[in-house]
Amino acid sequence: MAQKIYLLDTNVLVYDPQSIYAFEGANLGIPITVLEELDSFKSESNSRGRNAREVNRILDKLRNVGCLRDGVPLENGGTLKIIFPEENIVQAAPFLEKNGDNDILKMALGLKNLKFHVVFISKDLNARVKADVIGIEAHDYLKGRITQDQFYQGWKRVQVPAVQLKREFPDILKQLAEEKKLTRNEFILVESNNNPFNHSVFRYLGFKKFKKVDDPIFAWPMQARNPQQLMALDLLLDPEVQLITLFGQAGTGKTFLALLAGLHQSLINDEYSKMLISRPVIPLGKDIGYLPGDIHEKLHSWMLPIYDNIEFIVHHASAGNHMQQVAQDLHNNYKHEKNKKDKHGNNRKHRKKHKDMLPGGLAHVDDLIRRGKLSLEAITYMRGRSIPYQFILIDEVQNLTPHEIKTLISRVGDGSKIILAGDPYQIDSPHLDFSSNGLVVVSERFKGQRLFGSVYLQNSERSELSDLATKLL
């Protein structure tokens, strides 16, 4: 029987430096071309550079165990060796171009001709297709893979007779808890059999206990627009839940809800000293340093979605405040009708004074930054820090690896809460997919933990046009 060897592509090591230890008892091969590609990445300040440097550190430690060219034993019972071109007996490989991917596949073909059973492991779909064409068995790196149908959404929908909804806790909740079909901090949307608009939301607290979820009261005239937004706000406003993942497509309210809850808890309740907000710059393909202007101008360009959401909150708070004042003015005019002329002038002054003020210290983004209540930062500069007593929002997390997310979560200090928001169906990083991105992996690993909660927001609330574009395009 031919000896089996797993040949690792560069993208596997870049995605997970610990993948070297993921094949228990197996023989692993790393082509020398992979080391050369890692060497070209190591000076980069992004995740690819950091992971390339970690792989180099792991291999450097293994040098103390033995010769990497001859093969060194691993702690999991396997072996690792570096594969060189001279082991390739194929003189003419069926590729038109000379590049790193094709050189790696040439080595795979050469090992096969040396009677090895070669299994090529790559996260590059096209590389796997080319491997199959030349007769090499190829697979994706699937450690901890989660399918789109299986990922943890944070809530369940059940239907009951309408009479059950008149009870404080419908009988179905006890049944679900006894059947152990719930995880801690998972929500249950209980709907009437005949009317889905007649519903209640409950959160499972563990130990067969439930909490009925009601609309929170904000200092500003805003509330949840659907049951999933209500679930998200319940987690965001709970100081006991320190890690939250919010999933959803554009327009579902992930960022808006997190900002609303964070501003309320920072400005009204003083639960956090300030809000810290960050987003990865993966879609640009380069670090934030390549954006024009100084650091504040760079951040402003990349944080425009944050500005838009906060300005939306400010606008609604201002409009609601104005309407309340108008109602109060009408009441005063009616009450003091005899002094109509004098009161009219006083009310106008009062309205003008009120127009320039917002309740609870709410202000525009730049004002909040100047007051030290809001901080916009690049993820690049968050490594190595400890962040206490802050409400931390990381947006577009689907573009980060699990290792990067681990680095961010480990920065969270005492009294802080961190929210990870993103859409795992819209990934810009070439090395990540639905199963392997940090947002989905964190949700799966943390589900059931007392300090963790997650909600999948399925309804777009941005506009009818936005919702239609998502469906049709």
**DSSP letter assigned to residue 267:** I
Mean pLDDT check: name the lowest of 87-91, 154-158, 260-264, 464-468. Answer: 87-91
User: Per-residue confidence at 281, pLDDT binned at 50, 70, 90?
Assistant: low
Residues 394/401, Cβ–Cβ less than 8 Å = no
What pLDDT is recorded for position 335? Answer: 55
Tell me whether residue 356 is exposed, middle or buried, using C-beta atoms within 10 angstroms of its C-beta: 0 to 12, 13 to 18, 19 or more.
exposed
User: Per-residue confidence at 464, pLDDT binned at 50, 70, 90?
Assistant: confident
**What are the tens digits of pLDDT across the range 112-170?**
888 899 999 998 889 999 999 999 999 988 765 666 777 899 999 999 999 999 999 99
pTM of the model: 0.72
Q: Higher confidence at residue 162 or residue 465?
A: 162
User: Per-residue confidence at 360, pLDDT binned at 50, 70, 90?
Assistant: low
pLDDT for residue 347 is more than 50: no
What pLDDT is recorded for position 188? Answer: 97
Tell me whether residue 147 is exposed, middle or buried, using C-beta atoms within 10 angstroms of its C-beta: 0 to 12, 13 to 18, 19 or more.
exposed
pLDDT for residue 209 is more than 50: yes
* 3-state DSSP of 397-465: HHHCCHHHHHHHHCCECCCCEEEEEECCCCCCCCCCCCCCCHHHHHHHHHCCCCCEEEEEECCCCCCHH
Residues 436/15, Cβ–Cβ less than 8 Å = yes
Mean pLDDT value of segment 40-49: 85
Chain center to CA of 212:
27
As a whole number of angstroms, the distance between CA 291 and CA 368 comes to: 23
pLDDT for residue 294 is more than 70: no
Q: Which residues touch 316 (CB under 8 Å, ≥6 apart)?
A: 220, 221, 222
**DSSP letter assigned to residue 3:** P
pLDDT for residue 349 is more than 50: no
